[in-house]
Amino acid sequence: MAKNKTIETENSVADFLVSISNAKRHEDCIFIIDLLSKLSGFEPKMWGTGIVGFGIYNYKYESGHAGNAPLVGLASRKNALTIYLASTFEEKELLLSKLEKHKTSKACLYIQKIEDIDIEILSQLVKKSIEHIKELYPN
């Protein structure tokens, strides 16, 4: 079975932030990291070289694939800030409809800058996502 590429590391979150050359993106990442830390109750940790994760859960799919992942995460990608959430949870679509300017894929929320979204709605999305993950994977 393939080994997970994205694992928790000892890399520095501060070094990751320094690597973000766009001043606005850097500032938004700091804001979101602080928000996710408060909402999750966990300190930020690097997962791989480009994801800041909060907390950890152990999963095992019906296929037998298993591993660890952060409860919620953030990455600064070329085209957007990416927030990693659960792929489905109660009220996700309703909350997304109120979030304002964003894009999504299965478990990713893409935003350009924090001014484009409603921070209170983002906070609700994050809380509900974490609750859902903890229900699915209680260990």
Does residue 6 lie within any of the structural domains?
A: no
Does residue 84 lie within any of the structural domains?
A: yes
Residue 78 amino acid letter: K
Does residue 97 lie within any of the structural domains?
A: yes
Does residue 2 lie within any of the structural domains?
A: no
Does residue 8 lie within any of the structural domains?
A: no
Does residue 1 lie within any of the structural domains?
A: no
Would you put residue 103 in left (φ > 0), alpha (ψ -120 to 50) or beta? Answer: beta
Indicate the number of domains in the chain: 1
Residue 83: give its domain's CATH number.
Answer: 3.90.1150.200
Residue found under tokens 């859960």: 57
Does residue 4 lie within any of the structural domains?
A: no
93 contacts 41 by C-beta, under 8 angstroms: no
d(CA 25, CA 110): 13
88 contacts 135 by C-beta, under 8 angstroms: no
d(CA 72, CA 57): 10
Does residue 23 lie within any of the structural domains?
A: yes
Kindly report the pTM of this predicted structure.
0.93
d(CA 117, CA 100): 5
pLDDT tens per residue, range 78-133: 899 999 999 999 999 999 999 999 999 999 999 999 999 999 999 999 999 999 99
Residue 83 amino acid letter: I
Residue span of the structural domain in which 94 resides: 13-136
pLDDT tens per residue, range 48-82: 999 999 999 998 888 888 889 999 999 999 899 99
Would you put residue 104 in left (φ > 0), alpha (ψ -120 to 50) or beta? Answer: beta
